[in-house]
Amino acid sequence: MIGDNFVYIHVNYNPRMAKSKDEAVVKQANALMKRLDNAGRFGYPVFIVLDKGGKVLHIQDSSFLEEGEGYNKDKVLRFFKNWTPKAVGK
């Protein structure tokens, strides 16, 4: 499902690093969050769906997909099915 419809990229953003004394690190972190439509407003972690041009289509608060100490496989699969290129008409 994922391999056939998505390019999966794990971005590890640490909000504490955005307050680094290294100005380049702060600039890069701020640019990334702006590029990803300030996804941190939902907390972390989040799922971000981009179209093939890199435009943010959806940001999903991952807490709605969680169960116990991890993710509910059925909820995550349903989420991905709802955001395939075919499902969104792209």
Asked if the structure places residue 66 within a domain, the reply is: yes
Number of domains in the chain: 1
What pLDDT tens digit does each residue of the chain (90 aa) get?
889 999 988 887 776 666 667 888 788 888 888 999 999 888 889 999 999 899 999 999 999 999 999 999 999 999 999 999 999 996
Asked if the structure places residue 72 within a domain, the reply is: yes
Which pLDDT score is estimated for 51?
92
Which pLDDT score is estimated for 16?
67
Which pLDDT score is estimated for 35?
93
Which pLDDT score is estimated for 28?
84
Question: Would you say 85 and 60 are in contact if contact means Cβ atoms under 8 Å apart?
Answer: no
Asked if the structure places residue 89 within a domain, the reply is: no
Signed CA dihedral, 58, 31, 17, 15: sign only: negative
Asked if the structure places residue 13 within a domain, the reply is: yes
Neighbours of 10 (CB within 10 A): 5
Question: Would you say 57 and 51 are in contact if contact means Cβ atoms under 8 Å apart?
Answer: yes
Domain containing residue 66: 2-84
Neighbours of 76 (CB within 10 A): 19
Asked if the structure places residue 90 within a domain, the reply is: no
Asked if the structure places residue 78 within a domain, the reply is: yes
Question: How far, in Å, CA of 65 to CA of 5, rounded?
Answer: 19
Per DSSP bridges, beta strands 70-71 and 56-61 are unpaired
